[in-house]
Structure formats: C-alpha cells, structure tokens
Amino acid sequence: MKLVTFTHGNRTRIGRLDGDGVVDLEAADASLPTEMTALLSAGATALDKARNAKGAELALADVHLESPILRPPKILAVGLNYADHVAEAGLETPKHPVIFNKQSLSAHPPFDPFHMPRASSALDYEGELGIVIGKRCRHVPRDRATEVIAGYTVVNDVSVRDWQLRVPTFTMGKSFDTHCPLGPGIVTADEIGDPHGLELKTWVNGELRQSSNTKNLIFDCFTLIEHLTTAFTLEPGDVIPTGTPGGVGIAMKPPQLLKVGDVVRIAIEGVGEIENAVIDEPESTRLI
C-alpha cells in the first residue's frame, strides 16, 4: 500500500495511491484519521481499513501531493553511510552512525520546487532511502526493528554545503526550509520486504549522478533503529533518511553544485520517485 497526503478542493487529507487515482480515505471510511501521523499511530487495524477502503477515488492529476508527513516529529538523518560517499569525501569510514537533525519544517512536497537560499549558493542534492517509523518505541533490538517500521519513502537530503561544513555539527546546513523533499508517498513495509536490495538513482537535468543500491549501506536500516532508540524514543511519523551514495555535486571534478533552474529526480526501486526544480528563495519568506 502506498499512503499519500494530498490537497484537493482546498482541503488537505490522506489517501491511498492506486495507479493513476487516489482513494480519499476520509470519504471512503469516516472512521479513519485524516492526518498521516494519526493514521500510523492508530496501528494495524486502521492500516488494514485504509488498505481495504473502496470508492471515493480522485484522479491523481487532479490532486496536489504534499509531503506524506506534513511536519515529521523528527527527521534524523545519517551521514557517511555508503563507502563510495565516504571515499569521495576523503574521510574515514565511521565506526558508529553519524546522526544529525533536519528540522521538521524542511519537509517538502515531492514535486514542488525547493529554494536556492538567500544566504548561500552552495546547494547540493543527496538521494536517500527514508525509513518512516510506525510505532512509539525505545530500546529496539536490531532483530525486532521491522516491528516499528511503517514503511519507506524517497528523500532528497538537500544540503547547503558551506553552512554544513563551517562547523562540526551539520544541522544548520541541512535544515533550510524546503530542503527535505519527501515522497511521493509512504510504501508500507510489507510491500518492500527487505529494504537492503533497492536500486537508488539520482539525475540532475537528466544526467545520472548517483547510482547505487541500499545493499551498500554501511549501517543498515535495522541497525540505525537499534542505535537511535538506545538514546531516545522514536514516534510514529519520524523519518530517518539513511544516507546518500557517491556522486554528490560537491565531490565532482570540478564541483557541480545546483543552480536555479536545475531539476533533480530521485528514484528508488519499489518506493517511487520525486522530482524537484530549484528556484530562488522567494521574497515571501521574509516574515519580518
């Protein structure tokens, strides 16, 4: 099942993607929650209802897909988690997962343009598999990690490289508004099975830049959940971008950072694809 958040008729709610249509879950079953984290929190019974809901279908072309989770409780990203990316960065393979935050307001729709920030032009892409948590959990052993995963999504861990690298912590350079496109939906874990054999590709303006497979993760999805839950509780709707393979723009010779007008497309086998253009940060972002 692929779950989506969409806007239609000036109202935002959740649905199930079926080919070229979206089943409006609110209209199909009034007992279901109308927001994604609430649906995930409601557990297996609610998900079964969503899977079996019928009717109330809208044409995909007539809806606007939003980030599947509008404002994730946490976005916990992983750095240096593919050997070829570690090599192109000129760094040593980490002994433990490198974790950093992306702020929740960086979450962005799968096909909307993201911003070239006013503060920098050192903009880069990172195609990644994202884990979506489905259960409140702590101290999860690796062999039970599958029990807390709701599904998977495609992530672009957009990075402002000069802000990222000016200090040891990455949060500022990874958290600009619009810099975490997600989607197009959440593919439930039962459809993916083992997430460690999925082809991942990233194109910029049609040029293939990244081509790898999630089997190449240094710390796999289940190890990451065990590691994170040692320290704190994970909650339904948390997103864990699992790291990017080699081929990022800053590592190319010469560097090929993003420009206004560029289009980034990321596809992950079985999960889907997202595509976002780069635009100048609009004047409307000035709130004061």
What number is the average pLDDT over the span 169-188? 97
**DSSP 8-state class, residue 281:** P
Pairing of strands 272-280, 114-116: parallel
**What mean pLDDT do residues 87-114 have?**
96
So where are the chain's domains? 2-65, 75-280
Per-residue pLDDT tens digits for 22-47: 999 999 999 999 999 999 999 999 99
Q: SS3 for 214?
A: helix
165/90 Cα distance (integer angstroms)? 14
Please calculate the CA angle 203-207-211 and round it to the nearest 5 degrees: 55
- Cα 31 to its chain centre, rounded Å, is 28
Beta-bridge mates of residue 137:
234
**Mean pLDDT across 261-287:** 97
> Which amino acid is it at 63?
V
Instruction: Work out whether strand 159-160 and strand 98-102 pair parallel, antiparallel, or are unpaired.
Output: unpaired
Q: Can you name the residues that pair with 132 across neighbouring β-strands?
A: 151, 239
CATH superfamily of 75-280: Fumarylacetoacetase-like, C-terminal domain (3.90.850.10)
Per-residue model confidence (pLDDT) at position 55: 87
Mean pLDDT (whole number) for 102-110: 98
- In sign, the C-alpha dihedral spanning 281, 152, 88, 266 is negative
- Residue 20 pLDDT > 90, yes or no? yes
* Alpha-carbon gap, residue 240 to 178, rounded angstroms: 17
* pLDDT exceeds cutoff 90 at 288: no
